[in-house]
Amino acid sequence: MTTPTSSTQGFLPGLPVGVFRIHRGELIAVAIIGIVLGVIALLWPGVSLLTVAVIFGSYLIASGIFRITAAFVADGLTTGLRWLTGIMGLLVIVAGVICLANPFQSLIVLAFVIGIGWIAEGIVDVMSGVRGVITPRWLGFVSGIVSILAGIATFLLPAFALVTFVIFGAVLLIVVSVTTLLTLPRKRKDEHVTA
């Protein structure tokens, strides 16, 4: 039987050496997958966007089916809530089918939703600056104006905004994955296993 030495226990208290090795292996695998996915997204942003659209459409269909099922089997729902849940589920399924039928169009709609969110957030930041909720006030104004401009840019160039999101996300994925590999828990030279 093997027992961990104090150096391993110092990093992961109470875990056997085998668990430490498995955890380290999982981190390495996830980091490598992250790097590969990041590179794929950088090289083929259009394919990455198509994949996101297909996953989003599939998610909507699954969510709609769940809502319809809940309308039939959930306890404690009134008749009105059952109908509302069922109709909402049907509408969500229709939205999912539309997303799958025309994935790039659904991504444009997603870009518009993001743009609306940024504009709304920008207005809130500007109002917070006006009311003095954010200190220093100029930070609220700057943050709000940048958010509003980003939202307007997303409306004017939705396809460009989506590709930019993918590229930015891919770069972040690669950076986080490389950082994970560089900061993995290392075996110490004095670590040994006793029998």
Place of tokens 């296993």: 193
CA distance linking residue 55 with residue 2, whole number of Å: 45
Query: pTM score, two decimals?
Result: 0.55
pLDDT in tens, 86-130: 898 898 898 888 888 888 787 888 788 888 888 988 898 888 888
Residue 187 has pLDDT above 80, yes or no: no
CA distance linking residue 181 with residue 195, whole number of Å: 30
CA distance linking residue 34 with residue 60, whole number of Å: 25
pLDDT confidence bin for 64, thresholds 50/70/90: confident
Domain segments of the chain as ranges: 18-182
Burial 168-188 (b: 16+ CB within 10 A, else e): ebbeebbeebeebeeeeeeee
CA distance linking residue 116 with residue 18, whole number of Å: 49
CA distance linking residue 140 with residue 128, whole number of Å: 6
Burial 131-164 (b: 16+ CB within 10 A, else e): eeebeeeeebbebbeebbebbeebbeebeebbee
pLDDT confidence bin for 47, thresholds 50/70/90: confident
